[in-house]
Amino acid sequence: MVVIRQDLATRDWTIFSTERSKRPKDFRHEEGKLGSKGKCKDEYVESCPFCKGNEHMTPRELFSIREDGEWLVRVVLNKYPALEIKNFCGPVTRHIKGPYLSMDGIGSHEVIIESPRHNDDLATMDRRNLENVLLTYWHRSVDLSKNEDYQLIIIFRNHGIEAGTSLEHPHSQLIATPFVPGYVRNKLYESQRYFDNFGRCPYCDMIDYELKDRERLVYEDEKYVAFTPYASVVPYNILVLPKKHQANFVEASEEEIRDLASVFKVVLAKLYYLLDNPDYNYVIDSSPTDKSGERHYHWHIEILPRLTTRAGFEIGSGVTINFIFPEDCARHLREVKV
């Protein structure tokens, strides 16, 4: 039973998914947990549920892209879902206990298996494969956006142990939530205020300035631009945005998603070669499902290499201390030929 609880003072929600619940001794430090970066070099691993041939080891398949009957990208439900598919009728309900509010842990938690091959890597795979991964993100988003229970769809990738991955086989994840988190709501408010002041989407203004200034530019083509943001929160923080204003990822056409693969491939490859395959997270930051078309928000992919540790100051203030200017990061990235 998944439950979502709200903090009384901050109104922030926490998801409690206790299926894999642990006892205190399971939390004691796992020696060697963060051991060598040496990864399996085999195309097939017998125990890996995501490898081709092991399809019976995953929960239900929701979507796939196939060629000659063989799958290239595959979407399945997460075996230990953070949120569960609804098995009742009617709306997701909220509950009150004492002064506290909670809600049913309803949502969709999906795994996008990016390749049948265990040793594949998003940064070095064919452009065609990457296109299929992006198209899969898009198809799932379009589909889930139609479900009235879901208010936000978050697509993310955890690459490497420092980024929180638990399975080596290349994969991303998608979580559709039945609420808009305060963190996201506040970002929307701020961009709305910017729009109210200046009559422009702040992301469109950033794009215009970065394309003119070029100091923080990493790469661009006709439709997309990648730059290191002015107030980058981590070293080599990169944003990839459509040049055309679109609030929600599903506003992009199928053709535009195909085109995204070019810039995205270059950016991932540059990071891979510059920093020797760093651990990273990326997130597709998109408006809530009912805010498609809004003029002040602009979907983007945010890439966050995991090169530093978030510590007490960052946790207490929400502010990060960065040790390198984005101008320097962008220059290093531009210099990598891929």
Identify residues 69-88 at the interface with its own copies (CB under 8 A).
82
Q: Is 47 in the site for its own copies (CB under 8 A)?
A: no
Q: Is 283 in the site for its own copies (CB under 8 A)?
A: yes
Residues 6 or more apart whose CB falls under 8 angstroms from that of 134 comprise 257, 258, 260, 261, 264
Between CA 285 and CA 155 the distance in angstroms is 8
Beta carbon of residue 22, minimum distance to its own copies (angstroms, whole number): 6
In this structure, are residues 225 and 211 in contact, taking their beta carbons and an 8 Å threshold? yes
Amino acid identity of residue 274, one-letter, is L
Beta carbon of residue 58, minimum distance to its own copies (angstroms, whole number): 19
DSSP 124-187: TS-HHHHHHHHHHHHHHHHHHHT-TT--EEEEEEEESGGGT----S-EEEEEEESS--HHHHHH
Q: At what angle do helices 326-335 and 254-274 cross, to 10 degrees?
A: 90
Q: Is 181 in the site for its own copies (CB under 8 A)?
A: yes
Nearer to its own copies, 170 or 278 (CB): 278
Nearer to its own copies, 71 or 157 (CB): 157
210 exposure class (CB count in 10 Å sphere: 0-12, 13-18, 19+): buried
Nearer to its own copies, 13 or 71 (CB): 13
Give, as ranges, the residues between 146 and 175 that touch its own copies (CB under 8 A).
Answer: 152, 154, 156-158, 161-165, 173, 175
DSSP letter for 106, please.
B
Between CA 306 and CA 279 the distance in angstroms is 5
Nearer to its own copies, 57 or 311 (CB): 311
Instruction: By CB under 8 A, name the one of 275, 291, 292, 295 that touches its own copies.
Output: 275
Beta carbon of residue 89, minimum distance to its own copies (angstroms, whole number): 26
Q: Would you say the C-alpha torsion 320, 324, 325, 329 has a positive or negative sign?
A: negative
Q: Is 65 in the site for its own copies (CB under 8 A)?
A: no
Can you read off the two tokens belonging to residue 154?
Answer: 């978050």
Q: Is 22 in the site for its own copies (CB under 8 A)?
A: yes
Smallest CA-to-CA distance from 117 within 176, 35, 40, 25 is with: 40
CA dihedral 17→21→24→28, nearest 10 degrees, is: -90
Q: At what angle do helices 182-198 and 202-213 cross, to 10 degrees?
A: 70
Nearer to its own copies, 32 or 90 (CB): 32
Q: What x-and-dash track marks residues 202-241 binding its own copies by CB under 8 A?
A: xx-xx--x---x---------------xxxxx-xx-----
Nearer to its own copies, 206 or 257 (CB): 206
Q: Is 34 in the site for its own copies (CB under 8 A)?
A: yes
Beta carbon of residue 60, minimum distance to its own copies (angstroms, whole number): 21
Q: At what angle do helices 127-145 and 254-274 cross, to 10 degrees?
A: 130
Query: The tokens 């979580």 sit on which residue?
Result: 175
Beta carbon of residue 149, minimum distance to its own copies (angstroms, whole number): 16
Can you read off the two tokens belonging to residue 157?
Answer: 């990738």
Which region, judged by CB under 8 A, interacts with its own copies, from 11-19, 43-51, 68-76, 120-128? 11-19
Beta carbon of residue 238, minimum distance to its own copies (angstroms, whole number): 14
Which region, judged by CB under 8 A, interacts with its own copies, from 114-122, 130-138, 141-149, 301-309? 301-309
Beta carbon of residue 68, minimum distance to its own copies (angstroms, whole number): 32
Can you read off the two tokens belonging to residue 36?
Answer: 């060598």
Instruction: By CB under 8 A, name the one of 96, 98, 197, 199 that touches its own copies.
Output: 98
Q: Is 1 in the site for its own copies (CB under 8 A)?
A: no
Q: Is 338 in the site for its own copies (CB under 8 A)?
A: no
Q: Is 285 in the site for its own copies (CB under 8 A)?
A: yes
